[in-house]
Amino acid sequence: MFRIWIYLSIKNFFLAFKSSKKIAERKKFIEYYIKKQSKKKKVFLFSQCRVAFLFILNFLKKNNKTGKNEVIFCAYNLPEMINIAHNLKLKIKFCDLDHKSGLMDPEKVKKLTSKKTLAIIMTNMFNDYQAAKKIKSLSISKKIPLIEDNAIYFDNFSKNKNKKYFSGSLGDYSIYSFNIMKNISSFYGGALSTNNHEFTQFYLREEKKLKKFPFFSLFKQILIFFILKVMSISQLYKGFFRYIIKYVHQYNIKFLLELFYPSLKSIRKKFPKLYFSKISSISINATYLQLKKKDKDLIFDLRKKKHKLYLKIFSQNKNNNFTLINKSDENYQNFLDFPILVKRKENLNKFLLSHGIEVRMKHYYNCAKMFNNKSSNAVAEKYEKELICLPVHPKITPSYISFVAKKINQFYE
């Protein structure tokens, strides 16, 4: 079973290309949707999530009068996000994870803060809402802006007394991604929510400089969309694509691996022209059509149930060769995949591919090592070397989950 499933349907794909006189109205709907979840007054749409992040850091850097230049990141992260701070010549401080929960430890964050701290970036990956609130409290007490990265947490929430608290409601600035493999799949796209009036004025001035979204970049992403859609057809995957994927992994064919793992592409480069363009009308249409879909909440619940099933099966099979990540909040999770730490990851992957099982081998990376930072981030390194993610999308059945778990246990016997 192909691990990738794109939420944007073929029908809505074609509808997104219809010339629409309602772009402004649809844009307002998206903004209202995010305002409601994030409890923010202002929402802006961007060509990518990382572009929103670039504008925030640029604003904070230019707006501070006291020479603050340090930003705190989780060490286990997406290199492209770190690269933005690096290219802006900010000093990066890396915070290691808690090895049991995968959370950025609030106490470690506190130790990294100083009078020069410009911002704390809280990346939602395996978060616990209560732990996230502690980081929020820390940012308030230290008067440090909190940037909440919700690239893989869109629509996720914590529940207390029947009230939902959505991801994005804690940050002073909250950013979202609508890129092709995210919860909302709109080729390219992102958003930012905030209550900061000065940032709003800054962005409205800067927005006038942005160019039209480049057609060639959009065309490439549309091509990838169709390739991934075709690969997700069960019969084609079983009869053909599973062998191609196995071959690509076996011989480490980088340009094809980058199709499945965009994070493998080169980093530490100058900002591409794409960063200085507006979100396309096609991405606005695609985002709107997906937010309006009636099955969105149903799919979220289905993914959550599959997480529970994986957790139940692996909890029953005690094995020192794999470790589950502690989860105290069943709702406030990344439901794109089911994460698990495993020994001998490369060999396990070869074994699983030989049985037609594809898992996500690459998630995030120990960015402290990639950016030549000398701080000790042993847990981030462990997560990079041992974390795999098992599929939970709508095509994954309970019997397939049992099959995957059985094969993982079989490998370690």
Q: How far is CA 119 from CA 123, 148, 170, 263, 345, in A?
A: 13, 10, 14, 24, 35
- Walk across the sheet containing 146-149 and list its strands: 42-46, 190-194, 173-177, 146-149, 117-123, 70-74, 91-95
CA 265, 270, 271, 274 torsion-angle sign: negative
Mode of pairing for the β-strands spanning 190-194 and 173-177: antiparallel
pLDDT digits (tens, 9 = 90+) for 14-64: 999 987 789 999 999 999 999 999 999 999 999 999 999 999 999 999 999
Give yes or no for a contact between 121 and 135, defined as CB atoms under 8 angstroms apart.
no
pLDDT at site 269: 72
Output the pTM of the full model: 0.94
- Beta-bridge partners for 121: 147
- Half-sphere exposure (Cβ direction) of 7: Cα atoms closer than 13 Å: 29
SS3 content of the chain, % helix, strand, coil (to 5): 50, 15, 35
- Length of the chain in residues, anyone? 413
pLDDT the model gives residue 393: 93
Q: Which residues of 206-231 are buried (b: 16+ CB within 10 A; e: fewer)?
A: eeeeeeebbeebbeebbebbeebbeb
CA distance linking residue 349 with residue 320, whole number of Å: 18
The predicted structure's pLDDT at residue 103:
84
For residue 166, give the H/E element and its range: strand 163-166
- The C-alpha atoms of residue 75 and residue 381 are separated, in whole angstroms, by 9
> What is the model's pLDDT at position 413?
86
Provide the terminal-to-terminal Cα distance of the chain, rounded to the nearest Å. Answer: 23
Q: For residue 329, what pLDDT is reported?
A: 78
Give the pLDDT of residue 138: 96
State the Cα–Cα distance between residues 26 and 212, nearest whole angstrom. 18
Rounded-to-integer distance, Cα 77 and Cα 263, Å: 10
Looking up tokens 């999530």, which residue turns up?
A: 49
Exposed, middle or buried, 365 (CB in 10 Å: 0-12/13-18/19+)? buried
The vertex-317 CA angle with 313 and 320, nearest 5°, equals: 130
The alpha-carbon radius of gyration of the chain (Å, integer) is 21
Between β-strands 173-177 and 387-391, what pairing exists: parallel, antiparallel or unpaired?
unpaired
Residue 126 near residue 311 (C-beta atoms within 8 A): no
Q: Looking at this protein, which amino acid is placed at residue 86?
A: H
User: In 10 A of CB 65, how many CB atoms?
Assistant: 5
Reading the chain (413 residues) residue by residue, the pLDDT tens digits are 899 999 999 999 999 998 778 999 999 999 999 999 999 999 999 999 999 999 999 999 999 989 999 999 999 999 999 999 999 999 999 999 988 888 888 899 999 999 999 999 999 888 678 888 999 999 999 999 999 999 988 888 888 888 889 999 999 999 999 999 898 999 999 999 999 999 999 999 999 999 999 999 999 999 999 999 999 998 999 889 999 999 998 888 887 888 778 776 766 678 888 899 999 999 999 999 999 988 888 888 898 899 999 999 999 887 889 999 887 777 787 888 999 999 999 999 999 999 999 999 988 999 999 898 888 899 999 999 999 999 999 999 999 999 999 999 999 98
Stretch (H or E) spanning 338: strand 337-342
The Cα 208–Cα 295 span in angstroms is 37
- State how far the Cα of 400 lies from the Cα of 403, in Å rounded to an integer: 5
CB atoms within 10 A of CB 2: 22
Taking each helix axis from N to C end, the angle separating 23-38 and 281-291, rounded to the nearest 10 degrees, works out to 60
